Amino acid sequence: MRYLLAVLVVFSFTYVSAQNQTDKDGLKQGFWHVNMPEKYGEPAYQEKGVYKDGKKEGIWLHLSDMGDTLAVERYKYGNKNGVSKYYDLEGIVRTESWIAHNPDNPYDTIDVYDLKDPNKIEKKIVKIEGSSVKHGKWIYYYPGGRMIQREEVYVLGQLQNDNPLQKITTKAAADTSKSKIKIVPKEVLQYEKENSGKKKIKVRTGSTGLY
């Protein structure tokens, strides 16, 4: 929670002072808000987040062109790191957990859970293969986001099929077809609260390098 608030404070400052800036080397720095038009049949969307030396860092919001939240993603070294959440208009669709590879150091210290006793955790130094790998719990929800469909647990990209934490829900999903309530993630509510009433700055569109 403290980390999230710290990021939002940075968002608030950069939102007012400057955005969509590059340094003398042409690397993207600071807060960026990009509007991407519809292209090759893909719908238009917006992205908001911070760049550090040309790479995404921290929390990034992925929004529809109407402002609906599609994703709250976390980045490190320009790659997904930590827990990211994905939404549709009815609610949460899934959560993902990633660990990013430090390009300056291929080794990292991670927590490895004992498959027989999830309360036992061992720290290990491992080599991270690839820019980002699945690491931790992935959760998939039934339509509407009110019930968990299944859970998967990964350790450095390997699915732990016999992990006692893995759970598959066989209950039928509740009927949410009549419910059209727009669910806004708490991260977005806090972000909007921090930035309410602040001067809007015209944003440049069509920037490359995003998705």
pLDDT digits (tens, 9 = 90+) for 105-163: 777 777 777 767 778 888 878 776 668 999 999 999 999 999 999 999 998 888 987 55
Q: How far apart are CA 186 and CA 21, in angstroms?
A: 28
Kind plus residue range of the DSSP H or E element containing 125 = strand 121-127
Looking at the DSSP bridge assignments, the partners of residue 80 are: 75
Alpha-carbon dihedral angle through residues 193, 197, 202, 207, given to the nearest 10 degrees:
0
Q: CA separation (Å) from 143 to 66, 70, 88, 169, 178?
A: 21, 14, 9, 14, 12
Sign of CA dihedral 165, 140, 86, 154: positive
pLDDT at residue 207 in the model? 45
The pair of structure tokens assigned to 177 is: 């077809």
Q: How far apart are CA 134 and CA 84, in angstroms?
A: 11
pLDDT at residue 156 in the model? 85
pLDDT at residue 197 in the model? 57
Kindly report the pTM of this predicted structure.
0.65
pLDDT at residue 184 in the model? 63
Name the pairing type of β-strands 82-88 and 91-100: antiparallel
pLDDT at residue 186 in the model? 67
pLDDT at residue 196 in the model? 60
pLDDT at residue 34 in the model? 95
**Which regions in the chain score pLDDT beneath 70?**
1-17, 115, 128-130, 162-186, 189-211
Q: How far apart are CA 65 and CA 47, in angstroms?
A: 10
pLDDT at residue 155 in the model? 87
